[in-house]
Structure 1
Amino acid sequence: MHPLKKLLHYAKAYRRDFRLATLYSILNKFFDVLPEVLIGVAVDIVVNGDKSFLAKKVLGNFGITDTWHQLILLGVLNVIIWGGESWFEYLLSIKWRKLAQNLQHDLRLDTYEHVQKLEMAYFENQRTGNLMSILNEDINQMERFLNGGANQIIQVVCSSIMVSAVFFALQPSLAIVSLLPVPAILIGAFWFQRRLEPRYAEVREAAGDVSARLNNNLLGLATIKAFATEAFEAKHIAEASNAYKAANGRAIGVSSAITPVIRMAILAGFTATLVYGGWLVLHGELAVGAYSVLVFLTQRLLWPLTGLAEVADMYQRSMSAIDRAMGLLNTKINIPYEGRHLAAGSVKGELSFEHVGFAYGDSPTLHDIQINIPAGKTVAFVGSTGSGKSTLVKLLLRFYSAQKGRILIDGQAIDELNLQDLRRAIGYVAQDSFLTDGTIAENIAYGLSNASEEAIAAAAQAAEASEFIQKLPLGFATRIGERGQKLSGGQRQRLALARAILKDPAILILDEATSAVDNETEAAIQRSLDIVSRNRTTIVIAHRLSTVRQADAIHLMEAGSIMESGTHDELLALNGSYAALWRLQTGERQSLAI
């Protein structure tokens, strides 16, 4: 489907606004063309007096044959026409701009909301900067086209029709000669437009690449500085920018040729009107007033066609941008949000993994996982990096869908449940928790807009975050910067834990939540966990075995399979892989027989 059709189909709610904006553009052009007609009539009155076309054919029945009275009437009509043109200019400007603003606002929000619903697998093959480019630059490009380009296209079409009608009414033979360049101009414009289409698609992709690289580097600025690779990364940005510049250059090479070609066609049409029309006047086949009208109207008809170059350029840029935005908006959601509702507070937290299998692409990650986690118990998963620990909780949160088997919560398959209800029943604390550029209180109450100040403070106390919060300049009202950059790693983790505590979920997931903090912070978080995990199903993923030794059950994973299960003491007594890992981490050594 053509991008413009996609946009019109999307903008069904604004069809009335489109119609009104189009009507205002047409009426504005109607009044805009009339002054040239009045000039011709004025010339006819001055030259022919009471024998003018106006006096004989129109005003004679009203007794207005005096030349001065006719000119006064023309002056009144001129004021009305200019007033009408100005009024509809105002209306079309307001209507098109409001329509552009409303559409870009709706499209950006709808696209962003759609992106949020896409499964995590989608983002593995996407760059954040490219998505930012679509959500921002591409949608802005559409707005710019609707602000002015759409009106220009409508008015060029209308002026062509209106002026052509006057031409044929006054002198059909001259109309044919003068209008011959118009089809050539339109065909040429479409010819150029077709060649611009792939070039501007390339430009938008290159713009997305620049945005992706910039976004990636700004997020990793600390690493770039630490490794003194500023020049290296600047070279990467230069390469992306050069590719964008080259793509634009190829598009500009084509778009710049449109205006000269159109000007030559306009020259032919205007010269034909000027010379052939003058010849008809000299031979008495065309009145002087009519000749004046046609000369002025030729300019009015043909000269705006030079704007086709700019319009075609803007149009094609917009169509490429709209195509990318609509492509993103129409991306299939593979993990549906709808399903059977879970009543708030009804979740007990019993979990079952039944023969669960999963692979990222062609790389198997989980093999036939079978676990039952009773409600209110604390279960830990340990193992080397890549063993599949985090993938298990991602399946539970339905960031991905299990490809084999199923996961149950309180005996209900999670893929049959309402996705939002499922996630509201789960508290998730990751190794690198997301914090917003808001206040301490706003971050703790993230997702809980109705949380009271007392509840927020109690959650902070439970997470042992109150001490450092009280030392901040504005306490809970202190803004923490983008991604919490004004806080230390340990402080960010305590806020993330406070957020999970305030949520009071039936199931709490801690995914390497203490792996990147100091010993003091780890001890503080561990004390908090000992309290908040009571009578709550808690899943802990950890590398440090010391953080999970008190768990009700520990599962050691290797290569996507569960190799050993039991309590800490039972696994040590088993003297297998877990015991070896414990000895490695604690520095214990087996006695060697001498």
Structure 2
Amino acid sequence: MRKQFAWLWKNMDAPFRRRHVIALCVCAFTCLLLLVNPALSQRLIDDVIVAGNPKPLLSILAVMLVVKLGREGLRYMMVIFLEKDSQNVVFNLRRRLFSKMQYNDMAFFDTHRTGDLMTRMSADLDWCRHFLSYIDYRIIDAVCTFLFATIYLLLVNWKLTLLLIIITPILLLITKFFSRHVRPRFVFMREKLSEMNTAAQENIAGNRVVKAFAREEYEKERFEQKNQAFMDSHLRINKLWLTFFPIIELLVNAIQLVTVFVGGLFIIRGELTPGELAIFTGLSWAVSNPMRELGNLINDLQRFSTSAAKVMELYYGTPSIVDAPDAVAHERMQGKIEFDHVSFRFDTKPILTDVSFSVQPGQTVAVMGPTGSGKTTLIHLLARFYDVSEGAIQVDDCDVKQWKLSELRGGIGTATQDVFLFSDTVEGNIAFGDQSLTQEDVMDFARRADAAEFAEKLPEGYDTIIGERGVGLSGGQRQRIALARAMAVRPGILIMDDTTSAVDSETEQYIQDQLRHLPYECTKFIIAQRISSMRDADLILVLQDGKITERGTHSELLAKRGYYWQTYCLQYGIPMDEEQSTASGSNSAVGAPAAGMGV
């Protein structure tokens, strides 16, 4: 618990730290003020009522009223300070956690569910705020109230006070036993909350898929299971608390019974005045109430501890892929690429094995192969989303590990088949990678990606909010905006991962022509299954089971009669059992139409 408090304290700005200390001191002082009115009540009973002297009555009542109002005013100020301090900490934490996530590597997001991360950024952070705004002052309030009241009662009558506090060790033992058993249940409940949030997030993100397959009832039942599991875990904690609660209440009420019964006997024996008994009856709650609250405070502390541990794991986590201490600064990326015997394993599973090839600046390399052959992994390694297991990747004759990540990734423009568009305008999405683009630049790159025509027809043109993930646009329209976004950063390497899979052949031909006449020089890295998308590439690679099985130009690969030739025959409707010479196959390939069906 000490580590977690020190961590929160570190994330509180200096002015708020001072105010937090003042607020907690005010809390302790207001606990001390609680003793004033019971002391005045003694005078009211002994000096006014019993003695029959009404003169001090008004002055005693006035002082009691001033003390009461002053105490409430101080506590109001204390609550305001604590709330502002806690909000400052949560603001700083949320900002730093979001920044942390921005720079975490792909492996982090592979192992953490979106719903779990959202829970850490919301519910778990809120418990950190709750600790600073409520739990810490309630602990000080309970401890100070108990100590001040006990010391004062000892001064009034030590015998009766000892009888009242003799129950304290029993309550502490019960509390310790409860605390030991409740923590694992809070950890379990936190996991169930994360699972429930993950299920809700996935359902919202995939609502179109759910509706397309009419799986609303199934999703409803799946969420119901997660919701039920979370509720059951919560009820198990409450059930544990309710097991101890009657015992605690019985012991707390025993304090009040002892006060009245034994106090009455002391008055009869002349060891206590009626006014002093009023002090005990007025402050017996100050001894018993902290005991009553102990269970709730432990509940809150355990829940805070569980949540803070999750947030701290994210806060102190460090990405494995960072800038090397001796990283080399580069100006504009030229686009020379070299894979030197590259192998990559993901959780011991081999994805790529001994991949080697090189591309000169301005050339076009195309990669094709069956699903799961490692095509997309190539571009992930090139952009250093992951580090290679063996071998090396060089860009402009410099190992990617020696590049600054911002310069390496800033020099690569990527457009993928699985397009993610932000809930922003068309212009905002195209200019996402370069906020300095002018309106004319945005329109020019939209034209090159064949996105200008439909963008201009939108209700507000380029200022139209296209919605989360590009809702309202077709797959081909989203791909064209993504391609315009990739081209707009004027990269040294332009990566197109099945970028034109959702567009028609005429649009594809137009885009390919525009790519040949970009206003800057760049190396093009094309991943596709359409022959028409890669036939003009300077180098075509065929990946199968993570290995390069074929390489060469379009004509050279047709002559080899391998995977590329088979794909070509399937797309252009050429029977593969026909006997064709290598030459005729190459000649027919050159003369074949550019259009083709995707596989």
Per the TM superposition, whether the score is higher than 0.5 is: yes
Secondary structure of residue in 1 paired with 2:339: strand
Q: For 1:314, give the aligned amino acid.
A: D
Among residues 293, 296, 309, which one is paired with 1:323 in the alignment? 309
Amino acid at match of 1:494: R
Between the two proteins, the alignment pairs up a number of residues equal to: 576
Match of 2:505 among 515, 519, 533: 519
- SS of the aligned residue for 2:516 comes to helix
How far 1:335 sits from its partner (Å)? 1.1
Q: 2:146 aligns with which of 160, 179, 199?
A: 160
Of 7, 10, 13 in structure 2, the residue corresponding to residue 9 of structure 1 is: 7
Superposed displacement of residue 401, structure 1: 0.9
Question: 1:544-578 CA deviation, whole Å, 9 max, x = no partner?
Answer: 12101111211111111112222212222333332
1:347 paired to 2:345:
no
How far is the alpha carbon of 1:208 from its aligned partner? 0.9
Q: Which residue of 2 aligns with 1:444?
A: 430
2:373 to 368, 380, 387: 387
Structure 2: how far apart are the matches of 1:514 and 1:461?
15
How far off its partner does 1:125 sit? 3.2
Question: Does the Cα contact within 8 Å between 1:494 and 1:525 map onto a contact in 2?
Answer: no
Greater CA drift, 287-296 or 24-33 = 24-33
1:212-232 CA distance string (max 9 Å, x none): 112222222222222222222
Residue of structure 2 equivalent to 1:428: 414
1:96 equivalent to 2:98? Answer no
Q: How does 1:41-440 map to 2 (within 5 A)?
A: 41-47=43-49, 68=55, 70-337=56-323, 339-340=325-326, 343=329, 345-440=331-426
The separation in 2 between residues aligned to 1:447 and 1:84, in whole angstroms, is: 58
Give the AA of the match of 1:114: K
Q: Contact 2:323–2:402 (CA<8 Å) still a contact in 1? A: no
| Aligned partner of 1:22 among 6, 21, 24 | 24
Q: Between 421-430 and 100-109, report the one with greater CA deviation.
A: 100-109
CA gap of 1:154–1:337, structure 2 versus 1, over 3 A, is farther
Secondary structure of 2:517's aligned partner: helix
Q: Which string of whole-angstrom CA distances, capped at 9 and with x for unpartnered residues, describes residues 267-318 of structure 1? A: 1111112221222222221222222111101123313532333333222222
> Hey, what's the Cα distance between the residues in 2 that align with 1:593 and 1:331?
61
RMSD: 2.4
Matches within 5 A, 1:558-577: 558-577=544-563
Letter aligned with residue 183 of structure 1: P
**Does the CA-based 8 Å contact 2:328-2:404 persist in structure 1?**
yes
Give the secondary structure class of the aligned counterpart of 1:517. Answer: coil
- Which letter maps to 2:40? L
| Separation in 1, partners of 2:519, 2:439 | 23
Closer, same or farther: CA 89–238 of 1 in aligned 2, 3 Å: same
Task: Answer yes or no: is the 8 Å Cα contact 1:31–1:85 preserved in 2.
Answer: yes
Query: Scaled by the length of structure 1, what TM-score is found?
Result: 0.91
* Stretch moving more, 524-533 or 568-577: 524-533
Quick check: 2:165–2:287 contact (8 Å CA) kept in 1? no
Greater mean alpha carbon deviation, residues 285-294 or residues 571-580:
571-580
Give, as a single letter, the amino acid of the residue that structure 2 aligns with 1:273.
T
Change (3 A) 1:493 1:337: same
The structural deviation recorded for 1:33 is 3.9
Cα displacement (A) at 1:198? 0.7
Shift of 1:491: 1.3
Distance 1:313 1:341 in 2: 49
- 2:566–2:576 CA contact under 8 A, matched in 1: no
Q: Distance in 2 between matches of 1:466 and 1:34?
A: 78
**Cα displacement (A) at 1:533:** 8.5
Distance 1:223 1:354, change over 3 A: same
Question: Taking structure 1 as reference, are residues 545 and 67 closer, same or farther at Cα in structure 2, changes over 3 Å only?
Answer: same
1:38 and 2:40 are equivalent in the alignment? yes
Which SS does the other structure have where 1:136 is aligned? helix
8 Å Cα contact 1:7/1:322 also seen in 2 = no
Residues 143 and 290 in structure 2, CA contact (< 8 A), matched pair in contact too: no
Matched, 1:494 2:480: yes
Instruction: Describe the shift of the 1:439–1:340 C-alpha distance in structure 2 as closer, same or farther (beyond 3 A).
Output: farther
User: Within 2, Cα distance between the matches of 1:179 and 1:558?
Assistant: 78
Asked whether the 8 Å contact 1:189–1:308 carries over to 2, the reply is yes
Match of 1:54 in 2: none
Cα 1:519–1:308 shift into 2, 3 Å: farther
The answer on whether the counterparts of 2:329 and 2:403 sit within 8 Å (CA) in structure 1 is no
Give 1:590 shift: 5.2
Q: TM-score, normalised by structure 2?
A: 0.90
Query: In the alignment, is the contact (CA less than 8 A) between 2:393 and 2:399 conserved in 1?
Result: yes
Counterpart Cα distance in 2 of 1:103 and 1:593 = 75
How far off is 1:48 after superposition? 6.1
Q: Which moved more, 1:421-430 or 1:32-41?
A: 32-41
Aligned-pair CA distance for 1:126 = 2.9
Distance 1:356 1:263, change over 3 A: same
Match of 1:58 in 2: none
Hey, what's the Cα distance between the residues in 2 that align with 1:404 and 1:17? 55
CA distance, structure 2, for counterparts of residue 361 and residue 469 of structure 1: 43
The residue number in structure 2 matching 1:59 is none
C-alpha distance in 2 between matches for 1:483 and 1:7? 40
Alpha-carbon distance, 1:47 to partner: 4.2
Maintained 8 Å contact 2:105/2:386: yes
Corresponding position of 2:588: none
Distance 1:258-1:475 versus aligned 2 partners, 3 A rule: farther
| CA drift at 1:171 | 0.9
